[in-house]
Amino acid sequence: MTADLKSTITANLLQIDTEIKKMCKHVGREKSKARLIAASKVQPKENVVAALEAGHKVFGENRVQEAQERWSDLKQNYEGIELHLIGGLQTNKAAEAVALFDVIQSVDRPKLARFLAREMKAQNRHLPLYLQINTGAEEQKGGCMVADLPALLDVCAELELEVQGLMCIPPADDDPSLHFSLLKKLAKHHKLERLSMGMSSDYALAASMGATDIRVGTAVFGARE
């Protein structure tokens, strides 16, 4: 890793963090409640190392296998890393996901909840979970439909899973604020604390609308290959 790379990524992290804090202050939110999750999928390892060297601790990955390859040694070399799974999860990867991640943000169906519950028990690793909501009701996208959320929450409660929050990825060409406000309303209704929303193009908006977990990739690391 070059000194240049480290200083670029350090500056990006600082700028985004400053912007998030500014928006929180602007709307009267407690700024310590909003945190930046560096979405590191597909980025070269040196970019991730640069962010680690800059002191960043919270990262999001989309795919279990890619995350395993990258993080199994980094997690040992750097203390206090927190890894979030922010991409869709297949049930046959549940064991590996539970072993590697610290938070799973993409729980979206009862079957997956059951597999995760079983694995967490087997590994005695009880991770906090977020439920991913398909706020735009897009057919090709993962996420639980809004109408199915109460039933999914019931299943999670029966399984004694710790559901901390909700996550959404708004449709690419919609106004994200509609989706952020829906997610916030759902979280409030179900008394869930954490709201994972906002990416490079709308992280400031997300912060102003109550996001607690803001997943930013490109604006931290640069464009993906």
Residues near ligand PLP (CB under 6 A) are: 39, 41, 62, 86-87, 169, 199-200, 215-219
SS3 43: coil
CB of 108 to ligand PLP, least distance (A): 12
Structure tokens at 193: 């604390």
* Distances, alpha carbon 29 to alpha carbons 33, 162, 217, in Å: 8, 25, 24
Nearer of residues 8 and 218 to ligand PLP, judged by Cβ: 218
CB of 122 to ligand PLP, least distance (A): 27
Whether 138 contacts 179, CB under 8 Å: no
CB of 157 to ligand PLP, least distance (A): 25
Q: What is the DSSP letter of 121?
A: H
Nearer of residues 39 and 211 to ligand PLP, judged by Cβ: 39
Nearer of residues 7 and 201 to ligand PLP, judged by Cβ: 201
Closest CA relative to residue 219, chosen from 67, 25, 103, 51: 51
**Amino acid of residue 198:** G
CB of 153 to ligand PLP, least distance (A): 21
Nearer of residues 106 and 149 to ligand PLP, judged by Cβ: 106
CB of 99 to ligand PLP, least distance (A): 21
- Gap between the terminal Cα atoms of the chain: 18
CB nearest ligand PLP: which residue?
Answer: 217
Nearer of residues 123 and 201 to ligand PLP, judged by Cβ: 201
Helix (H) or strand (E) holding 11: helix 3-26
